[in-house]
Structure 1
Amino acid sequence: MTDLSGFQHPRLARVYVETSAAADQRGGREHRKRLLDGLEGRVIEIGAGNGRNFAHYPKTVSEVVAVEPEDTLRRFAEAEAASAPVPVRVVAGHAEALPGEDHGFDAAVVSLVLCSVPSPPAALAEIVRVLRPGGELRFYEHVRSSNPALGLFQDAITPLWRRMAGGCSPNRDTLAAIRRAGFAVDEVERFAFAPQPPVPALAHLLGRAHRTT
């Protein structure tokens, strides 16, 4: 059985449950709807958190396998799965050892998770493994600012931010990591979004890519 002890942050998880609801009211709900629009077939969601995406999956999805390592968040996700419009199975696991067979999914979803995985290349390699050839990757992530001064500031605060925010790194170049993993980016939108004051507006990406290897 996979050891998930290093992923447990119960206090932070309870805060996230509250802040994610507030962020959705400020525009995050629409971001989630756009993230999932048009998905079909069997989907794996990596780092499903407290299940805020579940209500927005279209009925063209046959099954969602929702992977979440944090116990508190997974309990909330299980409750959300019960009322989802499509079948959702919440499972314990983490991004670098996904509980799925090779080429077993039509699409993968990452939503505000690649900022906090220990190794984005390892996580993306696992996503490539479980996706069928040509399978889709949908992504919604906050990333390093393109403003040089703000980007340097994010670099400087990353060590402290990681300790305070459960391993989250605010300065990752996630789009480059997706491309290096063997995905072709089909569309991407970059925008500033402030999930909840006093958190400043951060650069976010919303897009889709497909597996080429």
Structure 2
Amino acid sequence: MARWYEKHVLPRLVARSCGNTMLAPYRDRACAGLAGKILELGFGSGTNIAHYPAAVTGVVAIEPSDTAWRLSAPARTSSATSIERGSLDGQILAEAEGSFDAALSTFTLCTVENPAAALAEIARVLKPGGTLHFLEHGLAPEAKVQRFQRRVEPIQKALAGGCHLTRSVEGMLRDAGFSITALDCFYAPGAPRFESALSLGTATRS
């Protein structure tokens, strides 16, 4: 039953949640400046397609869920950008070293089992000086909210496919050797603070 839920139900719930129109301005900001061939980690149902700049010439989508990939079909079909499905596991990419101009990750590092491995792989496949654009939720800046996040995280992980609430986006990026070039941390409106602490920015491969 759990596997059926994660395979068939969860991708639809994630698509609905991540497709919230209130997040659209943040997706615009995260995608701004993307150009050339990009790798998108956690492609999902293709919510970011509408936010790709015209300068993006091709996208390799890293998405393990067949259900999410099927859900993305309408957006992919109507997109002028060439989009192909790449590796299924972002922690072990088959893509060649130094083959991407930029990478994009939105609401993905919270769920990846080993984010350090995923970030190391992104760094490997980026060209020297390549940029990672990110929009992620994670550890809140306030101690009071952090305490609540730690209490409810086991429930969150069980219901949301392993989604963590207490991962520090900035910490993960720095630990992976990225140089953060822009970072904006804030609470998204319209959602409880324990799940709406967002980090938006860019980081370059060191």
TM-score using structure 2 length: 0.92
Q: Relative to structure 1, is the Cα distance of residues 209 and 157 closer, same or farther in structure 2, using a 3 angstrom cutoff? A: same
Q: Which residues of structure 2 form unaligned runs of 5+?
A: none
Match of 1:31 in 2: 26
1:94 Cα deviation from its structure 2 partner? 1.9
Q: 1:25-174 alignment to 2 at 5 Å?
A: 25-26=21-22, 28-91=23-86, 93-174=88-169
Q: Relative to structure 1, is the Cα distance of residues 54 and 159 closer, same or farther in structure 2, using a 3 angstrom cutoff? A: same
SS in 1 for 2:95: coil
Could you tell me which of 11, 14, 17 is aligned with 1:16?
14
Q: What is the count of residue pairs matched by the alignment? A: 202
Q: Match of 1:74, as an amino acid?
A: W
Post-superposition Cα deviations, 1:51-88, rounded to whole Å, max 9, x if no partner, equal 00011111111111111011111111233111123211
Provide the aligned C-alpha RMSD in A: 1.8
1:6 Cα deviation from its structure 2 partner? 11
Give the Cα–Cα distance (whole angstroms) in 1 for the partners of residues 93 and 99 of structure 2: 11
SS in 2 for 1:158: helix
Match of 1:181 in 2: 176
The percent of aligned pairs where both chains have the same amino acid is 35
1:182 Cα deviation from its structure 2 partner? 1.1
Q: Match of 2:77, as an amino acid?
A: A
Indicate yes or no: 2:185 matched with 1:190. yes
Give the Cα–Cα distance (whole angstroms) in 1 for the partners of residues 18 and 10 of structure 2: 12
Post-superposition Cα deviations, 1:154-185, rounded to whole Å, max 9, x if no partner, equal 11221221011101001101111101111110
- Native 8 Å contact 1:46 1:110 kept in 2: yes
- Native 8 Å contact 2:87 2:95 kept in 1: no
1:7 Cα deviation from its structure 2 partner? 11
- Native 8 Å contact 2:87 2:93 kept in 1: no
TM-score using structure 1 length: 0.89
Indicate yes or no: 2:198 matched with 1:204. yes
1:8 Cα deviation from its structure 2 partner? 4.4
SS in 2 for 1:204: strand
- Native 8 Å contact 2:44 2:68 kept in 1: yes
Post-superposition Cα deviations, 1:11-67, rounded to whole Å, max 9, x if no partner, equal 11122222233x2x22x1111111111211110001011000011111111111111
Post-superposition Cα deviations, 1:90-136, rounded to whole Å, max 9, x if no partner, equal 34512101231111101110000000000111110111111111110
Q: Larger deviation: 84-93 or 67-76? A: 84-93
SS in 1 for 2:34: coil
Give the Cα–Cα distance (whole angstroms) in 2 for the partners of residues 7 and 139 of structure 1: 28
